[in-house]
């Protein structure tokens, strides 16, 4: 699946987008896999309360299922308007 990062999450991880092969069943499991990869992921995902997630371009929660999902995006709380 495609994993996207925006704003300071993108800056901390160092890339805007990557393809990830995963068996993770939920967003939370995917986060654990990413954190175990490298320090920059562990830093970016150290406080999930400071992050939001969208699955297939819809806002959701970290316990959301990844069944059939093509795109997951991580970003800080939004500051539109």
Separation CA 57–CA 18 (nearest Å): 16
The yes or no reply on residue 22 touching other proteins (CB under 8 A) is no
Tokens of residue 51, six digits? 């992050």
Query: In the complex, what is the shortest distance from the CB of residue 37 to other proteins, in angstroms, rounded to a whole number?
Result: 23
The yes or no reply on residue 78 touching other proteins (CB under 8 A) is yes
Please identify, among the stretches 23-31, 32-40, 41-49, 68-76, the one whose residues bind other proteins according to the rule CB under 8 A. 68-76
**CA atoms within a 13 Å half-sphere pointing along the CA-CB vector of 1:** 20
Calculated CA dihedral for residues 76, 28, 59, 67, nearest 10 degrees: 150
The SS3 of residue 73 is strand
Please identify, among the stretches 19-27, 31-39, 40-48, 55-63, the one whose residues bind other proteins according to the rule CB under 8 A. 55-63
Chain residues in the site for other proteins (CB under 8 A)? 4, 6-8, 54, 57-59, 71, 73, 75-81
């Amino acid at each position: 699946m495609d994993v996207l990062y925006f704003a300071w999450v993108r800056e901390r991880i160092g890339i805007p987008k990557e393809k990830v092969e995963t068996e993770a069943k939920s967003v939370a499991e995917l986060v654990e896999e990413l954190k175990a990869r490298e320090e920059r992921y562990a830093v970016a995902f150290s406080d999930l309360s400071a992050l939001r997630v969208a699955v297939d371009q819809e806002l959701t929660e970290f316990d959301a299922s990844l069944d059939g999902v093509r795109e997951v995006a991580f970003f800080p709380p939004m500051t539109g308007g």
